[in-house]
């Protein structure tokens, strides 16, 4: 009698259970086992901040199927036909004997499990800086269900008044929101010049300004020096500039490190980025062992280089591929990532896909153009909200390389459209006439993403002489004095203005007030309005009247990331 194929999966968070379930579906006769160190299985870890913040209160929602059944060992064996051993640690892999040695964390018992095919899904562990006080009570991460339970208990008890979040990335900002919604006074510390490093500075600054408006403090460009405490309990955070911030809670959110020790000890090759080296089949350097999830490195589909992408959606996709190949032999591939992500930042959203502005030049692209578009996500009469996008394009080919998007509007849709455009290697020309769905409840007649492509097309053809806010601010800081023209209405100007020496001439009066403009037709003029739609129209009018150096401030007032007069 032919022996049943034995597939063992090490790790039970996202990628591991997906791989196990896929393998069992395609090879029903196989013996599939998940070995999981934690007590829980198939945790929706991206939902931890929202559980902490009280967006939902049922802890089991993080562990449940869409129809509400908890994914525990009984669920896996009864519904999936997969044996799941929780609170069990794999301590070593014997590649020659094709076994894994396990230790029961409750009883201490040790045993061996044989495999024909092994799938490693050991995930990642929180990065912890080597600073004093790291072990004080009150210093935590938000990586596990245990962490989520701890922070949720703090929220529910309501005794902590001040907290510091170390790290301004995705998890840091989401944790900031969760704790701020709990009534805790929050400060976010980021060692880099901006939060959310997947965005360019001016886009991230819009988000930072919004976070500040929600009564959460943000300190950038300063490193953590250590944690202060008394009697083993946290009392504050010290920064390298000498600042001390009193607090009773500190959440470390400075990224993750691939958990590769098990693979490394077994002699599997580790890639240059620190993740386990895998091929397109998610196969390691041992043909009987696959690896998936946050512990691996992947191919970046735009740069062609290796990268790490610890995202829950990718972990599931990788697990599906590895599970199928483990069951049927190498037949499907995982092509890599373009680093698509989205997050919620209080009432704003932020997302990106592909490359930011600086990255293409590092990758050898000689001629890169960007454009910023601020506009609504649907008609105003349908409850429109603002969306600000930045598109990055290779001028030589016209190919779209990256898109970033922030604002209270439907950012996720815009990033999804952009991601498919990048994966499809679409050009700006392809996007300007994209056939996207339209109805007033969902979008404008010309969708925001298409309008962004229109702006880029105009820029590439020389019809839009745009200037981004960072470039324009540098012009002002360098002491140059362009004529700055705000073409909004007087009511808009009184309500909100940048305050950089601008002259107000409403667009409807511009043709009749040309004498108020510089007599020198070579003088630089920068036009803008709320989103610079009227600013563009003003620039065209002035160019028709003979002014030769007219620019449009991209994104207008709404995309201006610096301080405003009012």
Residues in the chain: 566
Q: What average pLDDT does the segment 483-509 reach?
A: 97
Q: Is the CATH number 3.50.50.60 carried by domain 139-254? A: yes
Residues 6+ apart with CB under 8 A from 470: 201, 202, 561
Q: Which uninterrupted H or E stretch holds 376?
A: strand 368-376
Does residue 16 contact residue 128 with C-beta atoms inside 8 Å? no
Q: Residue 362 pLDDT more than 90? A: no
What's the pLDDT score for residue 331?
96
pLDDT tens profile 215-254:
889 999 999 999 999 999 999 999 999 999 999 999 999 9
Q: How many CA atoms lie within 13 A of 149 on its CB side?
A: 7
**Beta sheet of 386-394, edge-to-edge order:** 341-345, 348-354, 400-407, 386-394, 368-376
Q: Residue 337 pLDDT more than 80? A: yes
CA torsion angle for 61, 67, 70, 76 (degrees, to 10)? -140
Does residue 245 contact residue 236 with C-beta atoms inside 8 Å? yes
Does residue 86 contact residue 95 with C-beta atoms inside 8 Å? no
Sign for the CA dihedral angle at 296, 301, 306, 310 comes to: negative
Write down the residue that tokens 């396990």 correspond to. Answer: 102
Q: What average pLDDT does the segment 271-300 reach?
A: 98
Q: Residue 302 pLDDT more than 50? A: yes
pLDDT tens profile 49-66:
999 999 999 999 999 999
Nearest-angstrom CA–CA distance, 469 and 458 = 18
Query: DSSP 3-state assignment of 125?
Result: strand
Q: Residue 2 pLDDT more than 80? A: no
Question: Hey, where are the domains in the chain?
Answer: 6-123+257-328, 139-254, 348-453, 466-559
Q: How many angstroms separate the first and last alpha carbons of the chain?
A: 81
Write down the residue that tokens 């107000």 correspond to. Answer: 504
As its CATH architecture, domain 6-123+257-328 has 3-Layer(bba) Sandwich (3.50)
Does residue 218 contact residue 205 with C-beta atoms inside 8 Å? no
Sign for the CA dihedral angle at 428, 470, 408, 529 comes to: negative
Q: What average pLDDT does the segment 308-322 reach?
A: 97
Residue 289 sits at the vertex; the CA angle it makes with 286 and 293, to the nearest 5 degrees, is 120
- Helices 448-460 & 411-423 angle (0-180, nearest 10): 50
Sign for the CA dihedral angle at 103, 107, 113, 117 comes to: negative
Q: Is the CATH number 3.40.250.10 carried by domain 466-559? A: yes
Query: DSSP 3-state assignment of 114?
Result: strand
Nearest-angstrom CA–CA distance, 406 and 206 = 8
pLDDT tens profile 433-471:
999 999 999 999 999 999 999 999 999 999 999 999 999
Q: What average pLDDT does the segment 383-390 reach?
A: 97
Domains 139-254 and 466-559 share a fold: no
Residue 67: band (very low, low, confident or very high) from pLDDT cuts 50, 70, 90: very high
Residue 231 sits at the vertex; the CA angle it makes with 225 and 237, to the nearest 5 degrees, is 20
CA torsion angle for 451, 561, 423, 323 (degrees, to 10)? -140
Q: Residue 1 pLDDT more than 60? A: no
Residues 6+ apart with CB under 8 A from 378: 384, 385, 409, 410, 440, 441, 442, 443, 444
Instruction: Provide the percentage of residues in the chain whose pLDDT is more than 70.
Output: 100
Sign for the CA dihedral angle at 432, 559, 46, 308 comes to: positive
Beta-carbon count within 10 A of 556 CB: 28
Nearest-angstrom CA–CA distance, 52 and 54 = 6
Write down the residue that tokens 């680093």 correspond to. Answer: 339
Give 322: exposed, middle or buried? Use CB within 10 Å, 0-12, 13-18, 19+: buried
Q: What average pLDDT does the segment 115-142 reach?
A: 96
Mean pLDDT of the chain: 96
Q: Which uninterrupted H or E stretch holds 172?
A: helix 170-181
Top CATH class of 348-453 equals alpha beta
Does residue 552 contact residue 527 with C-beta atoms inside 8 Å? yes
Minimal CA–CA distance to 166: which of 253, 239, 244? Answer: 253
Q: Residue 261 pLDDT more than 70? A: yes
């Amino acid at each position: 009698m032919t022996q049943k194929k034995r597939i063992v999966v090490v790790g039970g968070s996202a990628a591991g259970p997906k791989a196990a379930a896929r393998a069992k579906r395609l090879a029903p006769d196989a013996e599939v086992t998940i070995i999981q160190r934690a007590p829980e299985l198939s945790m929706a870890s991206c939902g931890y901040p929202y559980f902490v913040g009280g967006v939902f209160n049922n802890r089991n929602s993080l562990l449940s199927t869409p129809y509400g059944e908890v994914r525990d060992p009984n669920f896996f064996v009864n519904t999936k036909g997969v044996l799941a051993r929780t609170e069990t640690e794999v301590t070593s892999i014997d590649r020659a004997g094709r076994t894994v040695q396990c230790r029961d964390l409750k009883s201490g018992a040790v045993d061996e499990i044989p495999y024909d095919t092994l799938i490693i899904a050991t995930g990642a562990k929180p990065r912890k800086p080597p600073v004093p006080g790291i072990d004080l009570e009150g210093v935590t991460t938000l990586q596990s269900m245990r962490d989520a339970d701890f922070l949720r208990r703090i929220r529910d008890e309501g005794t902590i008044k001040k907290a510091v979040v170390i790290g301004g990335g995705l998890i840091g900002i989401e944790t900031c929101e969760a704790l701020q919604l709990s009534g805790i006074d929050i400060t976010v510390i980021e060692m880099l010049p901006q939060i959310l490093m997947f965005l360019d500075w001016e886009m991230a600054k819009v988000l930072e300004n919004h976070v500040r408006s929600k009564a959460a403090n943000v300190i950038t460009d300063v490193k953590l020096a250590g944690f202060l405490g008394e009697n083993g309990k946290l009392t504050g955070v010290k920064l390298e500039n000498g600042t001390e911030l009193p607090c009773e809670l500190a959440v470390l959110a400075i990224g993750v490190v691939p958990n590769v020790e098990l693979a490394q000890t077994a002699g599997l090759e580790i890639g240059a980025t620190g993740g386990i080296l895998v091929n397109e089949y998610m196969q390691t350097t041992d043909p009987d062992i696959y690896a998936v999830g946050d512990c691996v490195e992947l191919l970046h589909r735009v740069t062609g280089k290796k990268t790490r992408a610890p995202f829950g959606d990718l972990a599931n996709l990788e697990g599906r591929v590895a599970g199928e190949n483990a069951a049927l032999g190498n037949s499907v591939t995982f092509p890599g990532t373009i680093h698509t992500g989205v997050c919620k930042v209080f009432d704003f959203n932020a997302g990106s896909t592909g490359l930011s502005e600086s990255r293409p030049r590092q990758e050898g692209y000689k001629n890169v153009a960007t454009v910023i578009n601020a506009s609504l996500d649907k008609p105003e009469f349908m409850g429109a909200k603002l969306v600000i996008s930045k598109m990055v394009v290779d001028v030589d080919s016209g190919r779209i390389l990256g898109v970033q998007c922030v604002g209270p509007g439907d950012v996720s849709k815009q990033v999804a459209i952009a991601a498919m455009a990048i994966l499809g290697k679409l050009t700006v020309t392809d996007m300007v006439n994209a056939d996207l769905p339209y109805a007033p409840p969902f979008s404008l007649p010309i969708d925001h993403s298409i309008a962004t492509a229109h702006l880029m097309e105009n820029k590439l053809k020389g019809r839009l002489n745009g200037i981004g806010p960072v470039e324009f601010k540098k012009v002002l800081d360098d002491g140059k004095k362009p004529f700055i023209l705000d073409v909004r209405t007087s009511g808009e100007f009184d309500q909100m203005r940048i305050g950089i020496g601008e002259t107000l001439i409403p667009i409807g009066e511009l043709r009749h007030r040309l004498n108020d403009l510089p007599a020198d037709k070579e003088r630089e003029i920068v036009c803008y309005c709320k989103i610079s739609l009227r600013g563009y129209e003003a620039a065209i009018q002035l160019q028709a009247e003979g002014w030769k150096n007219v620019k449009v401030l991209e994104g207008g007032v709404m995309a201006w990331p610096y301080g405003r007069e009012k």
